[in-house]
Each structure stands twice: as structure tokens, then as C-alpha cells.
Amino acid sequence: MEIDRRDIRQYGLNQTEFAVLELLYHRDSYPLQQIGEKILITSGSITYVINKLEQKGLLARIPCAGDRRVIYATLTEPGRRLITEIFPRHARTLTQAFRGLTPAEMEQVIALLKKLGLYGHQTRAVHGAEVSFINSLRGGKDDDAK
């Protein structure tokens, strides 16, 4: 959706970077190996995105104390400040974009986006933007958040 992409771009991020920051905003830290699965992108793409966010100083890699094979991504202080500032604004932008829909229509949109997300998860063909989009429509609530 163009309004989603344009809104995210004004913060110097692309949709995938925003989706990773949003995931970490709701979860504190998350295993690198599972981030791509959660936001529906390939492992090669997630490595690239994590590297870019790390270079921007927005996240850090933290080794798991109990399992050396596992590495967590976590927001740095600048990353937490950025997503804490921009996520509510982004959610408001998306809410305004859909203000013409009734509550029943919004639930229908959310159900259809979830269906697309499930299909994309099965085929790995869908970008992670719909995760951000669905959460924004719900005012930032993540169904599986801690």
C-alpha cells in the first residue's frame, strides 16, 4: 500500500526494516533465525536487513547464554527511541487512511490480510509489510506479543 510505504520512508526506513523494528518493539528481543519467519521474508534477506539496521545503530546482536547457536536481535537505545516515536504516528496514519471503513469492514480487511499472510507464509511469496499493516490497523496490538 503506497501510503504505508511513503509514511515509513519518511523515517529513513524501508518496510522490511520497519517490520523488524516493530517486531522488536513488541518483543524486546527475538532470535535472528526466527525473525524472517515472523515477518515472512527469506533468511538471506533478513541477514541483509539486520546488517543494515545494525550499521544504522538501531539494533544489536546478542548471543544466547544457553545456546551458542542462537543469536538474538535487540533494539539499541537509539532504535528503541526511534520506533517508540514513529510507531504510534505510523499507526495513526494507517488508521486515518481507513477511517471510511465501518468496524465490520475493518475486521473483514484484517481477516483477508491474515489470509494473505498465511498464504505468503506457505509460499514465502509475501513481504513482511502486511504484519506491520495489520498491527497498525489494530492500534499496534500484536496477537502473539508477550
pLDDT value of residue 145? 43
Question: For residues 81 and 93, what is the distance between their CA atoms, to the nearest angstrom?
Answer: 19
pLDDT in single tens digits along all 146 residues of the chain: 677 778 889 889 998 999 999 999 998 899 998 998 888 777 778 889 999 999 999 999 999 999 989 999 999 999 999 999 999 988 888 888 888 888 899 889 888 877 776 544 444 434 444 455 555 555 554 444 43
CATH of the domain at 105: 1.10.10.10
Q: Return d(Cα 107, Cα 109) in angstroms, integer.
A: 5
CA distance 105 to 110: 9
Q: Report the C-alpha gap between 83 and 85 in whole angstroms.
A: 5
Helix axes 15-27, 2-9, angle to 10 degrees: 80
pLDDT for res 1: 62
Domain that holds residue 69: 2-137
Q: Give the single-character DSSP code of 47.
A: H
Look at residue 95 and tell me if it is in a domain: yes
Number of domains in the chain: 1
